[in-house]
Amino acid sequence: MSKILITDGMDKGAVQTLKDMEHEVTEQFFEPEELKEQVKKFNVIIVRSATKVRKEIIDEALKTGNLKLIIRGGVGVDNIDVVYAESKGIKVRNTPKASSSAVAELALGHMFCLARFIGIANVTMREGKWNKKQYKGIELSGKTLGLIGFGRIGRELAKKAKALEMKIIYTDILGPAKDCPEYSFVSLGKLLTDSDFISLHVPGNKDKSPVIGKPEFSKMKEGVYLINCARGSVVDEAVLLEALNSGKLAGAGIDVFPEEPTKNLELISHERVSVTPHIGASTKEAQKRIGAEIVSIIKENF
């Protein structure tokens, strides 16, 4: 039996499974200062994106030596000091398989929303406006979708977009994917110049520098759409706003922000922006898969 702390919520069925396995489970969010004290009591911490497990938290856990495993219920682990934790003998795991389809569907949803003015039309109609002539959109069919990052989520989005008859190009630091000959691997520069839609599926840089900044925006074609369901830090928000205001970008779909909750009201209230509050993995199905994967990780380690 182990003592498990779940700080940011978890599928109830999976929680019950852990309890049935006779683990002692606590479900509670703690602010950083209180977490420093609480972390000493537990063998496992399960977090999503809200809880940050930084060096100072890990140092407190080391005082008792109880903490053996940190699990991120999701893909990215940038809210955990992974290298430091593992250097101290604390394992860090995530659930990379569980949410791929959910995030890909959200990215596609933002694409539809921007292409057909679905979001802004919802707003203006509720204000009593009938802006039919203003909302002449575009079809996704026949457009080029450029994927920056071609891991599980990128591949899921490619598959769904191909069904819509989009042309798929991608770039990835690992090079061409040998098992996906139906999609075209290109350089980042070519992807930026050729894409009608660009969707990011990469982890944030360790130094928080953007993957897409002023040099990258300058290479994009006029009227491109940018989708970010990856990490807030991968796009320079200030330059993104400039590109929207100048018309360089026809629209942006954003699920993630450098600071969450975001305070960038100018960005999220922009008429050509579709926004969601970091809900990429927030489907019932994805959360069940994440829960099952977490249970499997705990079974392997305890």
| Virtual torsion, Cα 43, 49, 54, 56, nearest 10 deg | -70
| Terminal C-alpha separation, the chain | 7
Give which of 55, 10, 4, 64 is closest to 37, Cα–Cα. Answer: 64
165 within 8 A of 139, measured Cβ to Cβ: no
193 within 8 A of 219, measured Cβ to Cβ: yes
Of 34, 37, 260, 300, the active-site residue reads 260
**What is the C-alpha separation between 212 and 26, in angstroms, rounded?**
40
Query: β-strands 44-47, 3-6: how paired?
Result: parallel
Of 23, 231, 270, 289, the active-site residue reads 231
Question: Any catalytic annotation for residue 289?
Answer: no
Reported residue count of the chain is 302
Question: Any catalytic annotation for residue 259?
Answer: no
**How far is the CA of 152 from the CAs of 53, 177, 196, in angstroms?**
25, 12, 22
Question: Any catalytic annotation for residue 23?
Answer: no
Of 23, 93, 201, 278, the active-site residue reads 278
All residues at 6 or more sequence positions from 263 whose CB lies less than 8 Å from its CB, including other chains: none
**Which residues are the active-site residues?**
231, 260, 278
